[in-house]
Structure 1
């Protein structure tokens, strides 16, 4: 399996996808993928064998889909994080009774192409399976199935228009005199999360800065070095430091602070 990502698609009741229909949905959404079902070999009924196959080939990559007739393990932290943007998430998750495990087969695969492909396949699964109610990305990020299906149409859009916000959470917090936020999920692309604190920027501006930096790191990987500066305009510079978070239990972070230029 891929050593980068594992996605879980939650279902209100257990179901097995018809992979022939999933491939049709993929072809309609992304003709450039040329997807095909890897059929079950010597089975007498070829159509049924293909429908039940757990594998889809997309170019040089193989995507596995396994149906599990049970809920995923409980993770209160996951749904607590999701509540910031999806308050109903925990209630939706409590009702699910089955899930799909979706992964790209292989090792040492580049994170961004894997994320794009998985996102596209999950969108097609949701489009063909009304039982789907949520997606848990890499055990860290939870999103509603409908949102995933809509945003996944942009899976292969050029930078920065692909749906990286399906893969990364930005969680605001407040300290005594500052506001801040930390990402969750970026480390799979860049080796560490972003932790940002400021007493200079309004919350929406801070979130915009973090999202812009996160998108850049998803595209380019761990290219920001300790002490690098970047920022919005001539009046604002952001300094980045590599380290471990004191606030989030030693989490490896790119710590960013906004400064007003003199």
Structure 2
């Protein structure tokens, strides 16, 4: 399942014509370009490595994926190889790396119909078709880039309240969001978590321990740095709208 990187570069440019894209042949003969593991995407270099073995099994990953992708575990059980896609060098802006890598993965799926899914940063699994569609927006302006490919939002119940916790945001800002509310509906809470997630992805960790955020008095949210009881002690922004008056 070795990709034709020349074809990937062509598809990548067709999907994102604003980017300069090319395979890197390191001075080798032209016919070697198709097998080069490197592709240039804008100002970044991305490596694509073919691995002739399944990814390591992670029951937690597939349990989370099943909430939005019911066939995920069965699809994962059938796969026999995978590609590792990574940007060379560490970008000072995780969002840049996410955009570029997402676009390259989209082009790989477009040229390799046998691709069945994507595991992002070892934490989030998405079906290949969804990735193919949403990766078209890899370079969209804030807040329209496909951050839901990178982050799961998992609802839970906490006594009489409801909550949601993210999985994947820590790759951008070092913490997940854990939000607990006794006021909001599930849909409104998920919207709040999504809005805060994309704001943090865009601006970095600008929310400090003890901050209060919200546009109005009625929307106030208190934020504390804590370790989550919901997800095994992960560092979180613990958010609540439960203010005592």
Q: What TM-score does the superposition give when structure 2 sets the normalisation length?
A: 0.95
Structure 1 residues 1-262: aligned runs within 5 Å = 15-39=1-25, 41-43=27-29, 46-47=30-31, 49-107=32-90, 109-231=92-214, 233-259=216-242
SS in 2 for 1:172: strand
Q: Give the whole-Å Cα distance in 2 for the aligned partners of 1:55 and 1:247.
A: 40
SS in 2 for 1:26: helix
Q: Give the whole-Å Cα distance in 2 for the aligned partners of 1:218 and 1:108.
A: 14
Number of matched pairs:
245
CA displacement at 1:226 relative to structure 2 = 1.7
Q: Give the whole-Å Cα distance in 2 for the aligned partners of 1:125 and 1:23.
A: 9
CA displacement at 1:109 relative to structure 2 = 3.6
Q: Which moved more, 1:152-161 or 1:169-178?
A: 169-178
Q: Give the whole-Å Cα distance in 1 for the aligned partners of 2:244 and 2:221.
A: 10
CA displacement at 1:60 relative to structure 2 = 2.7
CA displacement at 1:261 relative to structure 2 = 9.1
Q: Deviations over 1:195-244 (max 9, x none)?
A: 01111111111000000000000001100012222236542311111122
SS in 2 for 1:211: helix
Q: Deviations over 1:122-150 (max 9, x none)?
A: 00000010110000000000000000010
Q: Deviations over 1:148-201 (max 9, x none)?
A: 010000000000000001000001111221111110010111110000111111
CA displacement at 1:249 relative to structure 2 = 2.3
Native 8 Å contact 2:91 2:97 kept in 1: no
Q: Which moved more, 1:179-188 or 1:239-248?
A: 239-248
Q: Give the whole-Å Cα distance in 1 for the aligned partners of 2:28 and 2:54.
A: 33
Q: Deviations over 1:24-83 (max 9, x none)?
A: 10110111211011015334xx23x11111000123311000111111111110000111
SS in 2 for 1:259: coil
Q: What TM-score does the superposition give when structure 1 sets the normalisation length?
A: 0.89
Q: Give the whole-Å Cα distance in 1 for the aligned partners of 2:209 and 2:218.
A: 21
- Supply the RMSD in Å over aligned alpha carbons: 1.5
Native 8 Å contact 1:170 1:184 kept in 2: yes
Unaligned runs of 5+ in 1: 1-14
Native 8 Å contact 2:103 2:136 kept in 1: yes
Q: Deviations over 1:66-102 (max 9, x none)?
A: 1111111111100001111111111111111110000
